[in-house]
Structure 1
Amino acid sequence: MVDIATRVWNHKWKIDPIVRSLIDTDFYKLLMCQSVFHNKPDVTVSFSLINRSKTIRLAEMIDEGELREQLDHVRSLRLTRGESTWLRGNMFYGKRQMFRPDFMEWFENLQLPPYHLEKRDGQYELTFEGSWPEVMLWEIPALAVLMELRGRAVLKDMGRFELQVLYARAMTKLWEKVERLRGIEGLRIADFGTRRRHSFLWQDWCVQAMLEGLGGAFTGTSNCLIARNRDLEAVGTNAHELPMVYAALAEDDAALARAPYDVLSDWHAEHEGNLRIILPDTYGTEGFLDRAPDWLTQWTGIRIDSGDPAAGAEAAIRWWQSRGEDPMTKLVIFSDGLDVENIVALHRQFAGRVKVSFGWGTNLTNDFRGLVPDGGLDAFSLVCKAVSANGRPTVKLSDNPEKAMGPADEIARYKRVFGVGEQVRREVLV
């Protein structure tokens, strides 16, 4: 097992680049990328870094030269022969050749496109623009780089013993969470923590701790590199990016209303009926389910990623029942802001009514709350989102208006088209 504190103390850039591989990313990104590669390869998309936690002034903490060095390193990465062999030949979700030969040939020759970086009002403005399949793969490494550089800035003045104690306390904190989760009968939980992790080495340690502590209840990791290295399941399906871009490309209100379902139609064709998890909250869960075509009721389950998680699960259960489906045969995946307390509560509320699973993110791979003065290592809400497609702005409404994004006039239009009324605001912490 890696001595993380010693590696931080003796930090060598060549040993520990923040992003080590093009597959040091979330599995759903590669699945979505293949779908985009086949369905929308010529769309030009812009991504932008968005720091929702304005009090964390990243440009005043992170050296611009260091940031550029890490981003340039990401651009130097290429898929290795071993990584390509794993993607081409491994079985994912019971299916071989999840990634098709034409996509793999393209991926094997990929270099991520250039980035644009500026400082403004204590923050970094980091943007990426290019063909959608290429530029979308910047999202996860960009977030990982910014999150880890912020952590390194806090840790750089700590002594060797101070670092040892810090990581010992963090390990104890996580292990206490694992011990609490051990008592949940029928638990199914996966690591979803790549995008806002403390560091690669720490995420890898957390995954090993979950595997040893929870055994079969730990179902895998979204991080492809860790899944490959640790012989684990790579898990994930799709994200808000797909409906946001499809919606931005819509020519009129009728096409806009169809866009979220066009996404899932293309997804179904791409994956031949596999990976059938619905993410319904991009433009409001209730409206999405009310207008959903009957063929979607046959899908495996729903991921709850904003708003009140219990309310979202209850809405899913009502929808399945109203369409003549048995909720006990369906899967609900909770993935928004999870920690032990709400994992325990949600499992207690819904186990026995639906199949329940959890995608545990930031509070698994970046919970250093209370371990350094003034919350210096507390996780914060940093995202990298598609902000335009073919020059048109993207919009996200979400079940939590605190997560909404887009120009005000377009948000108003989308609310009208999708019938979104008053919403309950929930503080976004991570």
Structure 2
Amino acid sequence: MEQIINSLLENDLYKFSMGQVIYHQFSDYKTTWDFKCRNKDVYFTSEMVEEIKEQIKLYCNLRFTENELEYLHSIKWLKGSYVDFLRLWQPRYEDFEITTDADCGLTIETKGTWLNTSMYEIPALAIVNEVYFRMAYDYDELFESFKKRLDEKCEKLKDGKLELGNFSEFGLRRRLSAKAQEIAIEKLADLSGKMHGTTKFIGTSNVYLAKKYNLTPVGTMAHEWIMCVGQGNHKHNPAYSNWYALDAWVKEYGILNGTALTDTITTDCFLKDFQLTYATLFSGVRHDSGDPFEWGEKMIKHYKNLGINPQNKTLLFSDSLDFERADKLYKYFSKKINVAFGIGTYISNDTDVPALNIVMKTTKCNGMDVAKISDTPGKGMCRNPKYEHYLTRCIDWRMQND
């Protein structure tokens, strides 16, 4: 199989956004990550696992080019000190442990410094996806169905049947293939000026394709940020994870790069810490689990209670979106608050067969168990049920007493 990841820029922007703060403030942190396949009917054969290993080895041979580093430095919140670090940085295959010892036929565990392991998640998932779909199906048939569906979607944006406002592509980790994602990005970029009404394609989380097609690279923080900063220090009460994470972010970026993720330990607990200072400094918030309409109304009410005009803030929706769902959310919220969308699998892997539902999540930080307690049951991940129970009790106590 041809090499799947061909540039270290082929990663989501939030990995660089988080990476800079990790480099400046948490360079000694160590993390463990685990792969999880949520599909119950998916099995990775031994041949697939061997190909995944070979592809990750090829990825680990890559280095940043000077041209790529110059591009990163042109992003206004990325600093020269971090870019200089990336000049020396390289992935380490020794940080990966890949086996067939799982019900789905594949385990991937990465261990090492947070600086390293954070960067592996997205390329590893992209590799797993492409290997699986190329080896489990007739890929050419899948690719034709992908192109057909993409064309149909684009027609809906052109003729005004759907209106989304500003949207970006977030599909690198679950794409059908590198070729499929690039075709989608190129088509949407070409179509951008021809879309109906307010609909506008802004950019992509894939930094490599953002550079190639002169689009805006999009992405701030992920769940790992709140989990590790808030739960990886033995002195921290994990129910205050969001405060520690937001505080470190503001120290690094001030008012730049400010979209806060709300649902790592439930949005209700997040709002305890997202008070006037942070709600003012951050330009908006991102939705990734729970009912999006209830969440949006909750955030608007929160801003109003703080005396902040919601129309000066942005709700970024990114949870399992398609164009139809985004259209409904846009029509519901657009007159109340600024709205934007990050749409992933529906753009990069919409074919005649179901997409994989795979993740890699942080399970330990500095030897401590860490957990995500999502607004949607089943979206959380923790390797130690006792720690998850402890974290839930900490959150419950805070919600009742703070």
Question: Under a length normalisation based on structure 1, what TM-score does the superposition of the two structures give?
Answer: 0.86
Deviations 1:200-226 (A, max 9, x none): 111010011111223370000110110
Deviations 1:342-376 (A, max 9, x none): 111111111110101000001110011xx3xxx3x
Aligned to 1:22: 8
Q: 1:106 aligns with which of 53, 60, 85?
A: 85
Deviations 1:166-206 (A, max 9, x none): 53432221122222234255710001111111111110100
Consecutive unaligned residues in structure 1, runs of 5 or more: 1-12, 422-430
| Residue 249 (structure 1) shift | 2.0
Paired residues of 2:230 and 2:245 also in contact (CA < 8 A) = no
* Correspondence 1:196 to 2:196: no
Paired residues of 1:240 and 1:282 also in contact (CA < 8 A) = yes
Measured in 1, the distance between the counterparts of 2:143 and 2:273 equals 49
Aligned to 1:4: none
Q: Which runs of 4+ in 1 moved over 6 A?
A: none
Q: 2:54 aligns with which of 60, 69, 80?
A: 69
Question: Under a length normalisation based on structure 2, what TM-score does the superposition of the two structures give?
Answer: 0.91
When the two chains are superposed, the root-mean-square deviation of aligned CA atoms in Å is: 2.0
Q: Which amino acid aligns with 2:22?
A: V
Measured in 2, the distance between the counterparts of 1:192 and 1:292 equals 25
Paired residues of 2:264 and 2:374 also in contact (CA < 8 A) = yes
Distance of aligned partners of 1:73 and 1:261 in 2 relative to their CA distance in 1, 3 Å threshold: same
Give the secondary structure class of the aligned counterpart of 2:57: helix
| Residue 106 (structure 1) shift | 1.4
Aligned to 1:177: 153
| Residue 62 (structure 1) shift | 4.5
Count of aligned pairs between the two proteins: 387
Aligned to 1:154: 136
Paired residues of 2:163 and 2:330 also in contact (CA < 8 A) = no
Q: Which amino acid aligns with 1:21?
A: S
Measured in 1, the distance between the counterparts of 2:171 and 2:20 equals 22
Q: 2:19 aligns with which of 17, 23, 33?
A: 33
Distance of aligned partners of 1:355 and 1:388 in 2 relative to their CA distance in 1, 3 Å threshold: same
Distance of aligned partners of 1:287 and 1:272 in 2 relative to their CA distance in 1, 3 Å threshold: closer
Paired residues of 1:247 and 1:394 also in contact (CA < 8 A) = no
Paired residues of 2:164 and 2:326 also in contact (CA < 8 A) = no
Give the secondary structure class of the aligned counterpart of 2:174: coil
Measured in 1, the distance between the counterparts of 2:5 and 2:41 equals 26
Paired residues of 2:312 and 2:338 also in contact (CA < 8 A) = yes
* Correspondence 1:83 to 2:64: no
Aligned to 1:167: 143
Paired residues of 2:13 and 2:219 also in contact (CA < 8 A) = yes
Paired residues of 2:35 and 2:107 also in contact (CA < 8 A) = yes
Paired residues of 1:206 and 1:364 also in contact (CA < 8 A) = yes
Give the secondary structure class of the aligned counterpart of 1:325: coil
Matches within 5 A, 1:354-369: 354-368=337-351
Measured in 2, the distance between the counterparts of 1:393 and 1:257 equals 14
Q: 2:107 aligns with which of 119, 125, 140?
A: 125
Q: 2:223 aligns with which of 231, 240, 253?
A: 240
Measured in 2, the distance between the counterparts of 1:56 and 1:130 equals 29
Paired residues of 2:361 and 2:381 also in contact (CA < 8 A) = no
Paired residues of 2:233 and 2:366 also in contact (CA < 8 A) = no
Measured in 2, the distance between the counterparts of 1:186 and 1:385 equals 30
* Correspondence 1:219 to 2:202: yes
Paired residues of 1:248 and 1:394 also in contact (CA < 8 A) = yes
Measured in 1, the distance between the counterparts of 2:269 and 2:364 equals 24
Q: 1:292 aligns with which of 274, 280, 292?
A: 274
Measured in 1, the distance between the counterparts of 2:210 and 2:180 equals 15
Measured in 1, the distance between the counterparts of 2:218 and 2:329 equals 21
Identity within the alignment, %:
29
Q: 2:259 aligns with which of 249, 269, 277?
A: 277
Measured in 2, the distance between the counterparts of 1:185 and 1:232 equals 20
Aligned to 2:327: 344
Aligned to 1:8: none
Give the secondary structure class of the aligned counterpart of 2:173: coil
Aligned to 2:368: 392
Deviations 1:5-63 (A, max 9, x none): xxxxxxxx4xx4111111100011111011111111001111111111132112x2743
Measured in 1, the distance between the counterparts of 2:166 and 2:340 equals 5
